Amino acid sequence: MAKRGKKYTESVQSYDRQEMFEVEKALELVLANAKAKFDETVELSVRLGVDPRHADQQVRGTVVLPHGTGRDVRVLVFAKGDKIAEAEAAGADFVGGEELAAKIQEENWLDFDVAVATPDMMGVVGRIGRILGPQGLMPNPKSGTVTMDVKQAVEEIKAGKVEYRVDKAANVHVPFGKASFGKEKLHENLRTLMSEIVKAKPAASKGRYLRSVTISSTMGPGVKLQAQRIMETLKA
Protein backbone atom coordinates (compact mmCIF):
# COMPACT_ATOMS: atom_id res chain seq x y z
CA MET A 1 0.00 0.00 0.00
CA ALA A 2 1.31 3.47 -0.91
CA LYS A 3 2.61 5.52 1.99
CA ARG A 4 0.37 8.47 2.79
CA GLY A 5 1.66 11.96 3.58
CA LYS A 6 1.41 13.72 6.92
CA LYS A 7 -1.44 16.03 5.80
CA TYR A 8 -3.50 13.06 4.58
CA THR A 9 -2.93 11.18 7.84
CA GLU A 10 -4.00 14.24 9.85
CA SER A 11 -7.11 14.59 7.69
CA VAL A 12 -8.10 10.95 8.21
CA GLN A 13 -7.76 11.36 11.97
CA SER A 14 -9.97 14.47 12.01
CA TYR A 15 -13.25 12.52 11.68
CA ASP A 16 -14.77 9.03 11.79
CA ARG A 17 -14.38 7.64 8.26
CA GLN A 18 -17.14 5.08 8.84
CA GLU A 19 -19.70 7.70 9.81
CA MET A 20 -22.17 8.94 7.19
CA PHE A 21 -22.76 12.69 7.20
CA GLU A 22 -25.39 15.16 6.02
CA VAL A 23 -24.27 16.96 2.83
CA GLU A 24 -23.45 20.28 4.57
CA LYS A 25 -21.22 18.64 7.18
CA ALA A 26 -19.56 16.39 4.60
CA LEU A 27 -18.67 19.41 2.44
CA GLU A 28 -17.24 21.21 5.47
CA LEU A 29 -14.99 18.21 6.20
CA VAL A 30 -13.86 17.92 2.57
CA LEU A 31 -13.01 21.64 2.39
CA ALA A 32 -11.22 21.59 5.76
CA ASN A 33 -9.05 18.75 4.50
CA ALA A 34 -8.26 20.25 1.08
CA LYS A 35 -4.80 21.35 2.19
CA ALA A 36 -2.79 21.12 -1.04
CA LYS A 37 -1.01 24.17 -2.47
CA PHE A 38 -3.20 24.01 -5.59
CA ASP A 39 -6.96 24.41 -5.98
CA GLU A 40 -8.14 20.84 -5.43
CA THR A 41 -10.94 19.32 -7.49
CA VAL A 42 -13.90 17.98 -5.50
CA GLU A 43 -15.27 14.68 -6.81
CA LEU A 44 -18.37 12.59 -6.26
CA SER A 45 -18.16 8.79 -6.14
CA VAL A 46 -21.40 6.79 -6.11
CA ARG A 47 -21.89 3.03 -6.01
CA LEU A 48 -25.21 2.17 -7.64
CA GLY A 49 -27.56 -0.77 -7.23
CA VAL A 50 -27.36 -1.76 -10.89
CA ASP A 51 -25.76 -4.57 -12.87
CA PRO A 52 -23.89 -2.80 -15.71
CA ARG A 53 -23.53 -6.10 -17.60
CA HIS A 54 -27.17 -5.68 -18.65
CA ALA A 55 -28.02 -3.12 -21.33
CA ASP A 56 -31.21 -2.11 -19.48
CA GLN A 57 -29.23 -1.19 -16.34
CA GLN A 58 -26.83 1.31 -17.88
CA VAL A 59 -26.65 4.73 -16.22
CA ARG A 60 -25.27 7.50 -18.39
CA GLY A 61 -26.02 11.12 -19.05
CA THR A 62 -24.86 14.72 -18.96
CA VAL A 63 -25.69 17.73 -16.85
CA VAL A 64 -24.64 21.38 -16.86
CA LEU A 65 -23.52 22.30 -13.33
CA PRO A 66 -24.91 25.69 -12.19
CA HIS A 67 -21.43 26.93 -11.19
CA GLY A 68 -19.39 24.98 -13.73
CA THR A 69 -16.43 22.75 -12.91
CA GLY A 70 -13.75 25.39 -12.40
CA ARG A 71 -11.77 23.90 -15.27
CA ASP A 72 -10.86 25.61 -18.52
CA VAL A 73 -12.08 22.88 -20.86
CA ARG A 74 -10.39 22.66 -24.27
CA VAL A 75 -12.94 21.74 -26.93
CA LEU A 76 -12.14 20.30 -30.35
CA VAL A 77 -14.83 20.26 -33.05
CA PHE A 78 -14.79 18.10 -36.18
CA ALA A 79 -16.87 20.01 -38.72
CA LYS A 80 -17.00 21.34 -42.27
CA GLY A 81 -18.72 24.09 -44.22
CA ASP A 82 -20.54 26.77 -42.25
CA LYS A 83 -20.33 24.65 -39.08
CA ILE A 84 -16.65 25.61 -38.80
CA ALA A 85 -17.51 29.29 -38.30
CA GLU A 86 -20.35 28.33 -35.92
CA ALA A 87 -17.96 26.29 -33.75
CA GLU A 88 -15.32 29.03 -33.72
CA ALA A 89 -17.89 31.68 -32.78
CA ALA A 90 -19.11 29.49 -29.91
CA GLY A 91 -15.60 29.38 -28.45
CA ALA A 92 -14.19 26.05 -29.65
CA ASP A 93 -10.41 25.84 -29.18
CA PHE A 94 -9.73 23.71 -32.25
CA VAL A 95 -11.92 23.30 -35.33
CA GLY A 96 -11.26 21.30 -38.47
CA GLY A 97 -11.72 18.02 -40.30
CA GLU A 98 -9.34 15.70 -42.11
CA GLU A 99 -6.28 17.72 -41.07
CA LEU A 100 -7.09 17.39 -37.34
CA ALA A 101 -7.75 13.66 -37.70
CA ALA A 102 -4.40 13.28 -39.48
CA LYS A 103 -2.61 15.23 -36.73
CA ILE A 104 -4.13 12.95 -34.08
CA GLN A 105 -3.31 9.81 -36.06
CA GLU A 106 0.23 10.73 -37.06
CA GLU A 107 1.40 12.69 -34.01
CA ASN A 108 -0.83 11.11 -31.33
CA TRP A 109 -1.85 14.71 -30.57
CA LEU A 110 -4.45 14.85 -27.80
CA ASP A 111 -4.17 18.38 -26.36
CA PHE A 112 -7.92 18.76 -25.81
CA ASP A 113 -10.45 17.63 -23.19
CA VAL A 114 -13.65 17.07 -25.20
CA ALA A 115 -14.28 16.30 -28.87
CA VAL A 116 -17.50 17.26 -30.67
CA ALA A 117 -18.41 16.17 -34.19
CA THR A 118 -21.19 16.83 -36.66
CA PRO A 119 -22.80 13.56 -37.88
CA ASP A 120 -21.35 14.02 -41.38
CA MET A 121 -17.82 13.95 -39.91
CA MET A 122 -18.16 10.62 -38.10
CA GLY A 123 -16.65 8.76 -41.05
CA VAL A 124 -13.45 10.74 -40.51
CA VAL A 125 -13.64 10.49 -36.72
CA GLY A 126 -14.27 6.74 -36.88
CA ARG A 127 -10.81 6.21 -38.40
CA ILE A 128 -9.19 7.51 -35.21
CA GLY A 129 -11.64 5.81 -32.85
CA ARG A 130 -8.90 3.49 -31.58
CA ILE A 131 -6.96 6.52 -30.39
CA LEU A 132 -9.86 8.61 -29.05
CA GLY A 133 -11.88 5.77 -27.47
CA PRO A 134 -9.43 4.64 -24.76
CA GLN A 135 -8.90 8.29 -23.76
CA GLY A 136 -12.65 8.88 -23.34
CA LEU A 137 -12.54 11.44 -26.17
CA MET A 138 -14.74 9.73 -28.77
CA PRO A 139 -17.77 11.86 -29.72
CA ASN A 140 -21.03 10.14 -28.82
CA PRO A 141 -24.69 11.03 -29.50
CA LYS A 142 -25.67 9.95 -25.95
CA SER A 143 -23.41 12.58 -24.41
CA GLY A 144 -24.50 15.24 -26.91
CA THR A 145 -21.12 15.42 -28.63
CA VAL A 146 -22.35 14.16 -32.02
CA THR A 147 -24.71 16.91 -33.14
CA MET A 148 -25.45 19.46 -35.83
CA ASP A 149 -25.99 22.07 -33.12
CA VAL A 150 -22.30 22.62 -32.45
CA LYS A 151 -22.98 26.07 -30.98
CA GLN A 152 -25.07 24.65 -28.14
CA ALA A 153 -22.69 21.72 -27.59
CA VAL A 154 -19.60 23.93 -27.28
CA GLU A 155 -21.35 26.53 -25.09
CA GLU A 156 -22.67 23.88 -22.68
CA ILE A 157 -19.27 22.21 -22.36
CA LYS A 158 -17.59 25.56 -21.73
CA ALA A 159 -20.29 26.43 -19.17
CA GLY A 160 -19.56 23.34 -17.09
CA LYS A 161 -21.29 20.35 -18.65
CA VAL A 162 -20.14 17.05 -17.15
CA GLU A 163 -20.83 13.47 -18.17
CA TYR A 164 -21.63 10.71 -15.69
CA ARG A 165 -21.38 7.06 -16.64
CA VAL A 166 -21.52 3.86 -14.63
CA ASP A 167 -18.39 1.69 -14.89
CA LYS A 168 -18.13 -2.11 -14.86
CA ALA A 169 -18.13 -2.15 -11.05
CA ALA A 170 -21.37 -0.10 -10.89
CA ASN A 171 -19.53 3.04 -9.76
CA VAL A 172 -19.91 6.61 -11.04
CA HIS A 173 -17.09 9.15 -10.57
CA VAL A 174 -17.71 12.81 -11.45
CA PRO A 175 -15.86 16.03 -10.55
CA PHE A 176 -18.30 18.76 -9.49
CA GLY A 177 -16.15 21.79 -8.70
CA LYS A 178 -13.07 23.17 -7.00
CA ALA A 179 -12.32 23.68 -3.31
CA SER A 180 -12.19 27.45 -3.98
CA PHE A 181 -15.92 27.42 -4.86
CA GLY A 182 -16.83 27.24 -1.18
CA LYS A 183 -19.56 25.20 0.47
CA GLU A 184 -22.65 26.89 -1.04
CA LYS A 185 -21.66 26.61 -4.71
CA LEU A 186 -20.39 23.05 -4.25
CA HIS A 187 -23.67 22.15 -2.54
CA GLU A 188 -25.70 23.51 -5.47
CA ASN A 189 -23.52 21.68 -8.01
CA LEU A 190 -23.75 18.44 -6.01
CA ARG A 191 -27.53 18.67 -5.67
CA THR A 192 -27.91 19.25 -9.43
CA LEU A 193 -25.61 16.31 -10.23
CA MET A 194 -27.22 13.91 -7.74
CA SER A 195 -30.69 14.86 -8.97
CA GLU A 196 -29.73 13.83 -12.52
CA ILE A 197 -28.15 10.55 -11.38
CA VAL A 198 -31.28 9.68 -9.37
CA LYS A 199 -33.54 10.57 -12.34
CA ALA A 200 -31.45 8.24 -14.51
CA LYS A 201 -32.31 5.19 -12.37
CA PRO A 202 -33.13 2.34 -14.78
CA ALA A 203 -36.54 0.71 -14.42
CA ALA A 204 -34.76 -2.66 -14.23
CA SER A 205 -32.80 -1.61 -11.14
CA LYS A 206 -34.24 -3.32 -8.08
CA GLY A 207 -33.65 -2.64 -4.39
CA ARG A 208 -31.59 0.25 -3.05
CA TYR A 209 -30.32 2.43 -5.91
CA LEU A 210 -27.77 4.57 -4.03
CA ARG A 211 -25.59 1.96 -2.29
CA SER A 212 -22.91 4.43 -1.17
CA VAL A 213 -22.14 8.09 -1.80
CA THR A 214 -18.72 9.62 -1.08
CA ILE A 215 -17.16 13.00 -1.80
CA SER A 216 -13.47 13.88 -1.67
CA SER A 217 -10.92 16.45 -2.78
CA THR A 218 -7.97 15.55 -5.01
CA MET A 219 -5.54 14.93 -2.15
CA GLY A 220 -7.98 14.38 0.70
CA PRO A 221 -9.74 11.29 2.08
CA GLY A 222 -13.30 10.39 1.17
CA VAL A 223 -16.24 11.50 3.31
CA LYS A 224 -19.37 9.31 3.26
CA LEU A 225 -22.81 10.85 2.79
CA GLN A 226 -26.17 9.59 4.03
CA ALA A 227 -27.38 8.05 0.77
CA GLN A 228 -30.95 7.44 1.90
CA ARG A 229 -31.21 11.01 3.18
CA ILE A 230 -30.12 12.29 -0.25
CA MET A 231 -32.88 10.27 -1.92
CA GLU A 232 -35.46 11.67 0.51
CA THR A 233 -34.23 15.25 0.03
CA LEU A 234 -34.33 15.03 -3.77
CA LYS A 235 -37.84 13.60 -3.73
CA ALA A 236 -39.09 16.35 -1.38
Tell me, what CATH number does 55's domain have? 3.30.190.20
Position 95 in a domain: yes
Please check the confidence at residue 207 and state whether its pLDDT lies above 50: yes
Contact 116, 75 (CB under 8 A): yes
Find the mean pLDDT for residues 38-52.
95
Which of 134, 158, 182 is a domain's end point?
158
Please check the confidence at residue 1 and state whether its pLDDT lies above 50: no
Please check the confidence at residue 235 and state whether its pLDDT lies above 90: no
- 83 and 100 assigned to the same domain: yes
Is residue 20 helix, strand or coil? Answer: strand
Find the mean pLDDT for residues 49-68.
93
- 79 and 122 assigned to the same domain: yes
Find the mean pLDDT for residues 140-146.
91
- The tally of domains found in the chain comes to 2
Position 61 in a domain: yes
What is residue 77's predicted lDDT score, i.e. its pLDDT?
98
Find the mean pLDDT for residues 69-96.
95
- 150 and 180 assigned to the same domain: no
Position 181 in a domain: yes
Name the pTM for this structure.
0.81
Find the mean pLDDT for residues 134-138.
92
Give the angle 121-75-219 at the CA atoms, nearest 5°. Answer: 135
Find the mean pLDDT for residues 84-99.
96
pLDDT tens digits, one per residue of 164-203: 999 999 999 999 999 999 999 999 999 999 999 999 999 9
Position 193 in a domain: yes
Contact 177, 69 (CB under 8 A): yes
Position 40 in a domain: yes
Contact 196, 234 (CB under 8 A): no
Contact 61, 163 (CB under 8 A): yes
Please check the confidence at residue 231 and state whether its pLDDT lies above 90: no
| pLDDT, greater one: 71 or 145 | 145
- 131 and 176 assigned to the same domain: no
CATH number of residue 151's parent domain: 3.40.50.790
- 111 and 10 assigned to the same domain: no
Q: 3-12, 40-49, 130-139: which has the minimum mean pLDDT?
A: 3-12
Which residue in 117, 130, 127 sits closest to 78, CA to CA?
Answer: 117
What is residue 71's predicted lDDT score, i.e. its pLDDT?
87
Position 1 in a domain: no
Position 143 in a domain: yes
Contact 45, 214 (CB under 8 A): yes
Find the mean pLDDT for residues 78-92.
96
What is residue 12's predicted lDDT score, i.e. its pLDDT?
56
- 79 and 53 assigned to the same domain: no
Handedness of CA 60, 64, 201, 214 (dihedral sign): positive
Structural domain span for residue 80: 75-158
Which of 142, 158, 174 is a domain's end point?
158
Environment class of 232 (CB within 10 Å of its CB; exposed 0-12, middle 13-18, buried 19+): exposed
Find the mean pLDDT for residues 78-101.
96
- 199 and 220 assigned to the same domain: yes
Please check the confidence at residue 211 and state whether its pLDDT lies above 90: yes
Position 20 in a domain: yes
Handedness of CA 32, 234, 16, 24 (dihedral sign): positive
- 16 and 131 assigned to the same domain: no
State the chain's maximal CA–CA distance in angstroms: 59
Which of 110, 140, 158 is a domain's end point?
158
- 82 and 133 assigned to the same domain: yes
- 189 and 125 assigned to the same domain: no
Local confidence band at 64 (pLDDT 50, 70, 90 cut-offs): very high
- 61 and 116 assigned to the same domain: no
- 79 and 139 assigned to the same domain: yes
What is residue 228's predicted lDDT score, i.e. its pLDDT?
82
What is residue 200's predicted lDDT score, i.e. its pLDDT?
93
